[in-house]
Structure 1
Amino acid sequence: MTFTVTVEPSGRTFTATENETLLAAAIRQGIGLPYGCKDGACGSCKCRKISGVVTHGPHQSKALSADEEAAGLILTCCATAHSDVVIESRQVAEVGAFPIKKLPVRVLQLERAAPDVMIVRLQLPANDAFQYRAGQYIEFLLRDGTRRAYSIANAPHVQADVPMLELHIRHMPGGKFTDHVFGALKEKDILRIEGPFGSLYLREDANKPIILLASGTGFAPIKAIVQHLQHKGFTHPVWLYWGGRRPHDLYQDAWVRDAAATLPQLTYVPVVSDALPEDGWTGRTGFVHLAVLADHPDLSGFEVYASGAPVVVESARRDFTAAGLPAEAFYADAFTSEADKALG
């Protein structure tokens, strides 16, 4: 059977069958609901069900607790409709969202940026325009039918020079895809991708100061957003907080400092949590999201764009809303690994 799903307060509607999740149906019809992992692990797609009947597939309690579910919250990435449904979600993209496409890409360049970080540049087909927003991500389609998601680290306007996507991939030892990237993958290899996906993109009409929060390779979409800010001549104050365990985890620190020199309103705050004496680190220390709160104890007038490890994103969401940030002003992608998804 097919049911109608209404999204408030926008009033937009889409249809969903009882065999597909609300999120999959929304993506298929160009409705931009927020989401991250698409596997019930990160909680980015959580929203309130106003009416209707849904059932949840497997998901982690940290993404949706039993108490939250009893209070009417749902995860659209693993909820299926069994009646017409009305949900509340303020992050609905405008009509005319970019189409999701599958296409082949060629490995243009592999650059080791840190001991466990590879920058992979992918050449796009010259005759097949790929449109996306700065901050969105693509998924690799692997031969066994599985997928791996990575954020795009370059802004769309860069395509005018070279039709290319830049990705920042961290090595997860034992990980099927990242072992391949750090082992057998070579330039000129052909891969298949699908996208764009994700709701972590700049809301250009917000008129608010912005905080960009990244941990590790969560810097990738943040870099694309910074490039987009440069391109658009954005004038509102922007703070970029980038956290890593060791200084080498801030693998494009010099790039950020150069960008800050061209954007006077951009303040860059690197934060290291586990520096060793030999690192000679003299900058900020501790958890990166706590550095934000130390500098901005009242976040009620801000927008936040966050990307990185799930624990960082979840902690930031919780503590920032407690500091006055409106829930709808927190946009996030959590980099959920296969190991994270296996944890209950």
Structure 2
Amino acid sequence: MPFQISLEPGGQRFTADDDQTILEAALAAGLVLPYGCRDGACGACKGKVVSGEVDLGPVSTGALTDADRAAGLTLFCRAHARSDLVLEARDVRRTDDIPLKKLPCRVQRLEHAADDVMIVELKLPATETFRFRAGQYIDFLLSDGRRRAFSIASAPHQAEHLELHIRRVEGGTFTGHVFGDMKEREILRFEGPLGSFSLREDSRRPIVMIAGGTGFAPIQSLIEHAIHIGLERPIALYWGARTRAGLYRDELARSWEQALPGFRYIPVLSDAAPDDDWTGRTGLVHEAVVQDLPDLSGHEVYACGAPAMIDAARRDLVARCDLPADRFYSDAFTFAADSSR
């Protein structure tokens, strides 16, 4: 039995079957709710149930706390409608004309950017057009039915090749293959584009970008896209890593200061090694933002990295820097229970 779902404050309407999550039903209806991991781990799809009942599947307690539940919040990627619903969901978009595709690809190039970071360049079929928004990701489709998600680091105008930044995960099946047996010309299959993380191009507000580790990948896509379209808004990029080797694209980030007017790059190390000879900023990357920009009331923030970093940045920038909560856009890198990456 399909249930009627209404969204506030936008007034959009769609239906959801018993076996569909709210997110799945919205996407099928051509509506994009904010979302990231789709497995209840990142919290990007969190929204309020104004009226009606939902059945919530397994979720991370970090993504949906007891306080969230008490406030009537749920995760749209895990919740199934059990009645007609009125939901509060902001920043809802239409899917417009960018289709979701399943495509083969060939490994074109492998680059060891750091001991635990591999840059993988994929060549797409010449007969296919693959469109995406800067900041989105793809899922590799593995032979056993599992999926592995990675953000696209290249910009949309470079869509004939896709660049991914893959971090080695201890015990990870797929990343073990990437760092061990993968060879150039290997054929893979993927589905995409996925995710709602993207640049709000219709805004004129100054931008703060925060990357942790390989969270730099979608940020690279956003900035290369901004350069391509001639974006004229101040952008400050804070890239956090443990040691200097973690800033594996440091020269590229520094080059953007010449390519994009109003761009600033601030690298931050949390555990600099003695041989790093580091004289730059130290500590947690989001704390550097708090120190430099105590008033973010007129800004937008785009943050990518581990869930703990995303949660801390969201909490502190909203509470300590007056950032409006609905202007914090994030892509949290999550890992499934089976060492997915």
TM-score (norm 1): 0.96
1:242 equivalent to 2:247? Answer no
How far 1:339 moved relative to its partner? 4.7
Q: CA RMSD in A?
A: 1.4
* Distance in 1 of aligned mates of 2:207 and 2:221: 15
1:264 equivalent to 2:261? Answer yes
Partner residue of 1:328 out of 322, 326, 340: 326
1:317 equivalent to 2:320? Answer no
How far 1:340 moved relative to its partner? 9.5
* Distance in 2 of aligned mates of 1:30 and 1:330: 24
- State the SS of the aligned residue for 2:149: strand
* Distance in 1 of aligned mates of 2:152 and 2:94: 21
* Distance in 1 of aligned mates of 2:205 and 2:330: 17
* Distance in 2 of aligned mates of 1:90 and 1:48: 10
- 8 Å contact from structure 1 (residues 41, 340) kept in 2: no
Tell me the amino acid that sits aligned with residue 316 of structure 1: A
- 8 Å contact from structure 1 (residues 39, 341) kept in 2: no
1:179 equivalent to 2:176? Answer yes
Aligned length: 339
Partner residue of 2:204 out of 207, 210, 216: 207
* Distance in 2 of aligned mates of 1:295 and 1:341: 37
* Distance in 2 of aligned mates of 1:341 and 1:13: 37
Comparing 5-14 and 174-183, the one that deviates more: 5-14
Where do 1:218-233 residues align within 5 Å?
A: 218-233=215-230
1:170 equivalent to 2:164? Answer no
Which residue of structure 2 lines up, in the alignment, with residue 136 of structure 1?
Answer: 136
Pair 90,225 (structure 1): closer, same or farther in 2 beyond 3 Å? same
- State the SS of the aligned residue for 2:109: strand
How far 1:41 moved relative to its partner? 1.2
* Distance in 1 of aligned mates of 2:91 and 2:192: 19
Pair 224,316 (structure 1): closer, same or farther in 2 beyond 3 Å? same
Where do 1:46-57 residues align within 5 Å?
A: 46-57=46-57
Pair 57,3 (structure 1): closer, same or farther in 2 beyond 3 Å? same
- Which runs of no fewer than 5 residues in structure 1 stay unpaired? none
Which residue of structure 2 lines up, in the alignment, with residue 302 of structure 1?
Answer: 299
1:22 equivalent to 2:1? Answer no
- 8 Å contact from structure 1 (residues 52, 85) kept in 2: yes
- 8 Å contact from structure 2 (residues 42, 332) kept in 1: yes
How far 1:30 moved relative to its partner? 2.6
How far 1:35 moved relative to its partner? 1.2
* Distance in 2 of aligned mates of 1:5 and 1:250: 45
Where do 1:8-19 residues align within 5 Å?
A: 8-19=8-19
How far 1:10 moved relative to its partner? 1.7
1:197 equivalent to 2:194? Answer yes
How far 1:26 moved relative to its partner? 1.9
Tell me the amino acid that sits aligned with residue 317 of structure 1: R
- 8 Å contact from structure 1 (residues 30, 99) kept in 2: no
Which residue of structure 2 lines up, in the alignment, with residue 109 of structure 1?
Answer: 109
Q: Deviations over 1:232-284 (max 9, x none)?
A: 11111110000000011010000011121111310000000000111101100
Comparing 49-58 and 284-293, the one that deviates more: 49-58
How far 1:95 moved relative to its partner? 5.1
Which residue of structure 2 lines up, in the alignment, with residue 118 of structure 1?
Answer: 118
* Distance in 2 of aligned mates of 1:259 and 1:181: 29
Q: Deviations over 1:197-243 (max 9, x none)?
A: 11110000111000011000000000000001101111111100000
Which residue of structure 2 lines up, in the alignment, with residue 61 of structure 1?
Answer: 61
Which residue of structure 1 lines up, in the alignment, with residue 280 of structure 2?
Answer: 283
Q: Percent of aligned pairs with the same residue?
A: 55
- 8 Å contact from structure 1 (residues 243, 271) kept in 2: yes
How far 1:341 moved relative to its partner? 8.6
- 8 Å contact from structure 1 (residues 303, 330) kept in 2: yes
Which residue of structure 1 lines up, in the alignment, with residue 6 of structure 2?
Answer: 6
- State the SS of the aligned residue for 1:165: strand
How far 1:29 moved relative to its partner? 2.9
Partner residue of 1:337 out of 335, 338, 341: 335
- Which runs of no fewer than 5 residues in structure 2 stay unpaired? none
* Distance in 2 of aligned mates of 1:17 and 1:204: 34
* Distance in 2 of aligned mates of 1:321 and 1:35: 20
Which residue of structure 1 lines up, in the alignment, with residue 151 of structure 2?
Answer: 151
- State the SS of the aligned residue for 2:3: strand
- 8 Å contact from structure 1 (residues 41, 341) kept in 2: no
How far 1:94 moved relative to its partner? 3.1
